[in-house]
Every structure is written in C-alpha cells, then in structure tokens.
Structure 1
Amino acid sequence: MKENKIKKINQLADGKFISLYDLQYKNKLDQDKHWTVATRKDKEAVEDFYLNKKEDKVDAVAIAAYHIGYKKLVIIKQFRVPINDYLYELPAGLVDKDDKDVVESVTRELKEETGLDLLDVNNDYSIEKTYLSPGMTDESIAMIFCTCDGELNKDGLEDDEDIEAILVSQEEAKQILKSKAKMDVKAFFMLQNFALLGEKMFV
C-alpha cells in the first residue's frame, strides 16, 4: 500500500487569519485527488509543511483552568459569527510568533479573556499539540491544564471579542450539560469530566 502523498499546492484564498489551499495528492490507489484545506499558516509555512514535511508549530492554546479560590472551572460564553450565536467554550487564543513558549500564550490569553492570573501549569495532563478538525484544517492547539486566581473582568477584551467569563462548580457543570446549550467540543469534554471528577482533574 502506497502512502498518501501531497504533490502540489494551490492557494485559493488569502485571508487575515485563515487561508484556503487546494492540495493535490496521491491516494492509496495511486490516483490523483484534491482536498481543500483551511490553514492559519502563511504561504512559506504551508509549503514547508505540505511539500517538505517540515514539522509545524502549534497554532493556538486552549485553557482548562481551575480557580483555586472559588474552586470552580473557568469557561467562557462567546459569540461566534460562523455559528451566529453564543456558545460555551474554554478560554483560548492564538500563539504569537514572539511568544517564547505556550505558557506565555496561556498567561496572556487567560488574562485577556477572563481577567484571571495564571498560577501553575499541570504538565502531566497538558498536551503540546492536538488537532481540532483534521478533515478540513491543519489547525492545532496546545491543551493546557492549569490553576489560576483573581477576579473576573473584561478589561482585556479586544473590540471584536464578545465574551463572558464564567466560574462553574461541579454541580453547575452538570446543569449546563443537561441544558443542551450550544458548546464547542473542548468545552463539552471539559464540562463532562469536571462534572464527574471535579478538582481531581487539576490536582
């Protein structure tokens, strides 16, 4: 069986945050096929990743944060244009090129979206890179488990960010799940596990 292999790339759209590419590849039957991919990479990084098989950097961080003072999980409710509605998510954000590591990204994004201060990262539970929707995008995230402290505020939100940060108890996590409210998959699994395990997820 021959390995699937990308032979050629063609840019379809160049956006500020996301671009589209047509990838020409060989399938396992050695047939020429095409796949449309959304990516956050610039063109040079796309070529390195797909044509030269160079290891890519993680795109973003997702933050599973436990507030040690209130003993609650930190989640957010955010308006997302593609969904045209608010949904539950975890605090998250893009990794800046100048960030020395993902901890710097987590510290910044947690503060911006919730007003809370990062205390400690649990490296045993965190993962440096995982993929969100590999059927349509190469986007990857670092999933970081951590503890935090402080008071919620909206002082760091950008103009286009419509976010409400929420502290959720174990019982409240169960109620959110029962409500069948809209949420992204990361928030779903985090709420589900927190409802079952509580602070054991973080200590």
Structure 2
Amino acid sequence: MKSENKKNEIINVEVIFESKFLNLFKVIYKTYLGNEKYWIVASRKTIDSYKKLIFEKDNYASDAVVIVGYDDAEDRLLLIKEFRIPINDYIISLPAGLVDAGEDIEKAARRELFEETGLELYDIDRERSSKRTYPSVGMSDESISMLFGRVRGVITEKNQEESENIKPFFVTKDEAKKLLLENHNFDTKAWLVLRSFVDGNKL
C-alpha cells in the first residue's frame, strides 16, 4: 500500500499528568510532510515504559484482560452491569481487569473473574482468544487480551473492591436479543460478543 510510505516520526514524549492508574503524555511528532505536531495520549504505562513501546518496539504486554465467559450447561453468556464514572451511568460489559506486572494473562483472567463475579474460569479456548488488541487507539495505547472460556459456580458480589459497583448476570440467547433492542449503554466489545451470541455463533 502506498500510504505505508507516508510515515510520521515521533520526536519526543513529555509528561502532562501522572497518577497510579492513568497517565497523560504529549507526543511530539513530524508528519510525513515535515510539519511538527503533537498528540495527547492516555496510557497505563509510566513514561519510561511508554518510550520503550514506541521507540524500541518493546513492552508489548497487555494492560488488561477481558473475559468472554460461557455457561455451556445452560447455554448462557456472562455479562456485568457496572457503574462507570466517565459516563456517570451504568454500562453493560464483560468481566475485565488490569494485568499485574509480569502476571500471566490466564492467571489474571481467573483472578479478575472471581473478584467481580465469584465464578471460576476454566477450559480457556486459547485458539480463539486474542494475544493483544487495541480498543481505543485514537486516544490511548491501552491494550487488552480477550479470553474465551467456560465459567462455573455461584455468582456473588462479596469479593468486589469498594470502588467497584458491579452486577454480574447471565443471559440466554432470547434474553440477549431483547437486551440488544433496549436502550442500554454498551461496551463495544460486549455488544459485538452479544451480537455474535444471538446470531448463533460459537462462544
């Protein structure tokens, strides 16, 4: 493709804001025409880790894991309804959480699923699960791994942290179809998985 030759060059990265879970960087770059511009990037990484990512093409570990949990005993998909501060409202999404430094993705998925729902993740389908994807690359370098697997146990909210307001629930195909037609806030990944589930695709 000809457009691949029109490459922008990143010159430098400056810190705008730093916190425990999220940082803002000003990325200064030159366009393929030689004009200097900047881009504001939200990142889970420290400035040093972010520079390794963009300048050395290193540090590609996923920041977070998303679980597509399926109850094959009753043909149901696991969802959560979670209050999210940025929209000041509830949103329907999939169980998810941050991966600790050096933590195995599958271990992180099992830990997060148990904390949010009380359920056990097992029989992970590694062939269908993703290594690393970027959900919002226009504003962030945040990367996620999506793991498909089966879940079992009894739903409980007792393991959630104080900052979490999460209601886990299962849906059948008929319930999922109804949910898609209703006026809910949906996480994009959850909407796509729900649509696939309703259409009869394998989970």
User: Aligned with 1:127: secondary structure?
Assistant: coil
Instruction: Give the TM-score of the pair, scaled to structure 2.
Output: 0.94
1:102 partnered with 2:105: yes
**RMSD between superposed Cα atoms in Å:** 1.2
Name the amino acid aligned to 2:48.
E
1:44 partnered with 2:45: no
Query: Counterpart of 1:84?
Result: 88
Q: C-alpha distance in 1, partners of 2:154/2:56?
A: 46
Report the alpha carbon displacement of residue 21 of structure 1 after superposing the two structures with TM: 0.2
1:160 partnered with 2:141: no
Question: Of Structure 1 and Structure 2, which has the larger fraction of its residues in strand?
Answer: 1
Report the alpha carbon displacement of residue 52 of structure 1 after superposing the two structures with TM: 2.5
Report the alpha carbon displacement of residue 30 of structure 1 after superposing the two structures with TM: 2.0
Name the amino acid aligned to 1:192.
R
Aligned 1:1-203 pairs, distance under 5 A = 1-99=5-103, 101-197=104-200, 200-202=201-203
* Unpaired segments ≥5 residues, structure 2: none
After superposition, what is the alpha-carbon deviation per residue over 1:45-73, rounded to whole angstroms, capped at 9, x for unaligned?
Answer: 01211233324211000111101333210
Name the amino acid aligned to 2:170.
L
Q: C-alpha distance in 1, partners of 2:32/2:136?
A: 22
Q: C-alpha distance in 1, partners of 2:74/2:83?
A: 26
Q: C-alpha distance in 2, partners of 1:110/1:16?
A: 22
Name the amino acid aligned to 1:159.
E
Q: C-alpha distance in 1, partners of 2:189/2:144?
A: 11
CA distance 1:145–1:62, shift in 2 (3 Å): same
After superposition, what is the alpha-carbon deviation per residue over 1:2-33, rounded to whole angstroms, capped at 9, x for unaligned?
Answer: 42121100000001110000001121212111
Do the aligned residues in 1 keep the contact of 2:49 with 2:59 (CA within 8 Å)?
Answer: no
Do the aligned residues in 2 keep the contact of 1:69 with 1:149 (CA within 8 Å)?
Answer: no
User: Aligned with 2:129: secondary structure?
Assistant: strand
User: Aligned with 2:110: secondary structure?
Assistant: helix
Length, aligned pairs only? 199
Name the amino acid aligned to 1:11.
V
Amino-acid identity (%): 38
Name the amino acid aligned to 1:88.
I
After superposition, what is the alpha-carbon deviation per residue over 1:103-143, rounded to whole angstroms, capped at 9, x for unaligned?
Answer: 00110011111111011111121111000110000000001
Q: C-alpha distance in 2, partners of 1:50/1:9?
A: 10
After superposition, what is the alpha-carbon deviation per residue over 1:127-163, rounded to whole angstroms, capped at 9, x for unaligned?
Answer: 1100011000000000111111111001210000000
Runs of 4+ in 1 over 3 A off after TM superposition: none
Q: C-alpha distance in 1, partners of 2:102/2:54?
A: 24
